[in-house]
Amino acid sequence: MSSPRTQISARELTEEIVPHLDLIEKLISTTLTSLIETTDSAEERERREDQKRRFELMLLSIRMNVASVTRRHASVIRAIQNGDRTDSSILQLDENEAIAMDNAKTLYEQVKAHTRT
């Protein structure tokens, strides 16, 4: 397994990671909740509920680390959000934040895959 990246661009954080987290949250809420509510199988319901809990826990951890990065780099993030399109600042990540950014990408792919099945 490769080491997580220790840097991320401010633009990637604000334009990819955060919107993907919002989409993940929506997909978890709508898709898995729907599957849980419509299944007749107790085993399938339990499996989907466990899956939903795992996704939500990972999402919570990721959001906490995104908040940490955002707090530490608030001025850069604000510049991006205010339309400063010339800013290509690189944000330094601590170990937990780096893992969380990798987990965000992995979770996004997993959730997308589960919505297709």
Nearest to 22 by CA among 52, 63, 58, 54: 63
Is there a domain that residue 2 lies in? no
- The answer to whether residue 47 is domain-embedded is yes
The pLDDT of residue 79 is 83
> Would 46 be classed as within a structural domain?
yes
Q: Find tokens 């466990």 and name the residue.
A: 50
Residue keyed to tokens 């661009």: 9
Cα–Cα distances (Å) from 53 to 1, 43, 96, in that order, read: 25, 15, 21
What is the pLDDT at residue 83? 77
Query: How many distinct structural domains can be found in the chain?
Result: 1
- For 20, the domain range is 7-116
In a domain, 32, yes or no: yes
Residue 4 backbone dihedrals phi, psi, to 5 degrees: -70, 150
Residue with tokens 């399109």, as numbered in its chain: 85
pLDDT value at residue 109? 87
The answer to whether residue 1 sits within a structural domain is no
Q: What is the pTM of this model?
A: 0.81
C-beta of residue 4 within 8 angstroms of C-beta of residue 99: yes
* Residue 110 belongs to some domain of the structure: yes
Residue 74 lies in a domain: yes
One digit per residue, pLDDT tens: the chain, 117 residues?
Answer: 567 789 999 889 988 999 999 998 988 888 888 989 999 999 999 999 998 899 899 999 999 999 999 999 998 888 877 877 555 688 999 999 999 999 999 988 887 786 665
For the chain, the distance separating the N- and C-terminal CA atoms, rounded to the nearest angstrom, is: 27
